[in-house]
Chain A
Amino acid sequence: MKALINDPEAVVSESLAGMALAHGDLLQVHTDPSYVLRQDAPISGKVAIVSGGGSGHEPMHAGFVGLGMLDAACPGAVFTSPTPDQIVAASLAAHGGAGVLHLVKNYTGDVLNFQMAAEILQDQGVAVEQVLIDDDVAVQDSLYTAGRRGVGATVLAEKICGAAAAEGMALADLAALGKRINGQARSMGLALGPCHNPSTGQEGFQLGEQEIEFGVGIHGEPGRERLAMAPADTLTHMLMEPILNDLPFHPGDPVLLFVDALGAIPLLELYIVYRAAEVVAREYGLHVQRRLVGPYMTSLDMAGVAITVLRLEADLQRWWDAPVCTVALRWGL
């Protein structure tokens, strides 16, 4: 497999070094342990929002570090959660005296490492709250699995909690807000082809020429089933139906519709999916108030899309619209 890398062991560190050079106005990159910090951190009196996870999902999370969103991000090895020392160092560097909110995607590794970090931080007298994101409806059997996975709602929670924190919301209220966002967002994705891990050189999974993985996870985890390839409108409809029925959303609900490219999917095709998703949403009776379309939570070079629908009440919409200045999201300035 071909990849634009130098050394499989240095993929993450060299990428972060490039990010530091390209975006030094927005963020600082620290090494040993590695974390990405907002340039003007810590912000005194503001709750620090910290997230993290395996690398390979760029721009999530480091691309969301900056005004109105994350104070720090902890990038792990490719598809491997960060370690507690990274999370502790990032949290301490971002801590402005008002506590730290961890936004954690529900994967066993992330949960365990963030849990250990929170215990260490609490021992040092830092107030920490954690919000677990688990919005992937592809996982039906939560009892006999590690539970639903955290996917697209993570991006939305980072933006909305980031805006509320910038307004001065207290730690406990931010944790409640994060849980509320997770509770009213649902997601699902599909893959036309696998991703390739540049560190191991491995393909995540194999699909036949006319096969898709329906309900795929962002590390190439299997979804609900393998299906035959079909037109974009059909596949989009098949993704939207379980998303809308799971919460369930009700006709008349205001929503944010997020159509995410998982890596190797052209924007040309992504907008075809977006078109179909908005048609389905309208036919269902939803009021699409805000939209996000693009590669915001990727899975290396996976050819695929994921859709997230969030019920967007007026307060959430106001925080969504609030100013943000990060590598990947920038508006309202």
Chain B
Amino acid sequence: MNYDTETLIAWLRCIQERLAQERAELDHLDAEIGDGDHGSNLSRGFAKVAEKLGGRVSESPGALLKEVAMTLISTVGGASGPLYGTFFLETAKAMGASATFSAAELGRCLKSGVAGIQRLGKASAGDKTMLDALIPAVDVLASQGDVAAAAQSAQDGLAATTPLQARKGRASYLGVRSVGHADPGAASAALLFACLAQRDI
């Protein structure tokens, strides 16, 4: 299975649709340990992304994801705007001008994106953040080229955030009170990979 601009557009549309559907659920997760707007903020950003997708079919995947990055950075706000923006920006840079990618190649590009998030947010695995879903997912995708396995890793990573105590972001102020709740950033990250796998692309 190869990924090109058309398949990535289908992926982004899936993300936008699922975020619109699950917005309230993500807000609710965020309300438990943050400020209750993660779904609303991301949904606003991806709605703007979807508006711009129509005329992009002729662009390279890298150019497409760069545009996605800039749109998210300028519409999402909060911490997730710069973090997801950086994810897509660094992924786009790693893609260069190539037109198609195998699943493993896409995984390696997304891995650069995750490294970008780590640099900007200065968080590590186990801090109860989006990285807990993203790191295992891109590791599996880059090494095995299996999107279904990557999506499962993201889902497992999300589930594993529940018993953790948050050490980054607004949830960290809860201290031990953050234990027992799944991290909303990890939930949106798992949604990204669920779309990559679910989509018959």
Contacts and interface: CB of A to CB of B under 8 A. Distances in A.
Contacts of B81: 81, 83, 109, 112-113
Interface string B68-97: 000001111111111100000000000000
A222 B167 contact: no
A34 B188 CA distance: 27
Contacts of A85: 73-74
Given A109-B81, A197-B37, A84 B31 contact: no
A197 B34 CA distance: 13
B41 interface: yes
Contact of A200 (B40, B169, B172): B40
A81 B36 contact: no
A146 interface: yes
Q: Which of B41, B44, B120, B173 has the most CB of A within 10 A?
A: B173
B174 interface: yes
B37 A112 contact: no
A222 B172 contact: no
A113 B78 CA distance: 8
B120 A77 contact: no
B27 interface: yes
B181 to A, nearest CB: 13
Interface residues of B, number: 31
B173 A108 contact: no
A76 interface: yes
Contact of A80 (B27, B37, B168): B37
Contacts of A222: 173-175, 177
A84 B37 contact: no
Interface stretch (A18-26, A137-145, A234-242): A137-145
A195 to B, nearest CB: 10
Given A146-B168, A221-B173, A108 B74 contact: no
Given A200-B36, A222-B174, A112 B83 contact: yes
Contacts of A54: 77-78
A146 B169 contact: yes
A33 B77 CA distance: 12
A295 interface: no
Contacts of B83: 112
Interface in A159-197: 197
Interface in B97-147: 120-121
B76 A108 contact: no
Interface in A37-86: 54, 76-85
Given A112-B121, A197-B36, A202-B27, A80 B173 contact: no
A11 B93 CA distance: 36
A180 B31 CA distance: 35
Contact of B173 (A83, A112, A146): A146
Q: Which of A115, A144, A145 has the most CB of B within 10 A?
A: A145
Contacts of B59: none
B183 to A, nearest CB: 13
Contacts of A204: 31, 35-36
B173 A145 contact: yes
B170 interface: yes
Interface string B9-45: 0000000000000000001000100011100110010
B35 A77 contact: no
A222 B31 CA distance: 12
A13 interface: no
A284 interface: no
Given A54-B78, A80-B41, A83-B74, 16 more contacts: A76-B77, A81-B77, A81-B79, A82-B77, A107-B170, A108-B79, A108-B121, A109-B82, A112-B121, A113-B81, A116-B73, A145-B175, A146-B168, A149-B173, A221-B174, A222-B177
Please provide the 7 A-B residue pairs with the shortest distance between their CB atoms, ordered closest to farther. Answer: A145-B172, A109-B78, A112-B82, A109-B79, A108-B79, A80-B77, A221-B173
21 contacts: A33-B74, A54-B77, A78-B37, A80-B77, A81-B79, A83-B73, A85-B73, A85-B74, A108-B79, A108-B168, A109-B77, A146-B168, A146-B169, A146-B170, A197-B37, A199-B40, A202-B31, A204-B31, A221-B170, A222-B175, A222-B177
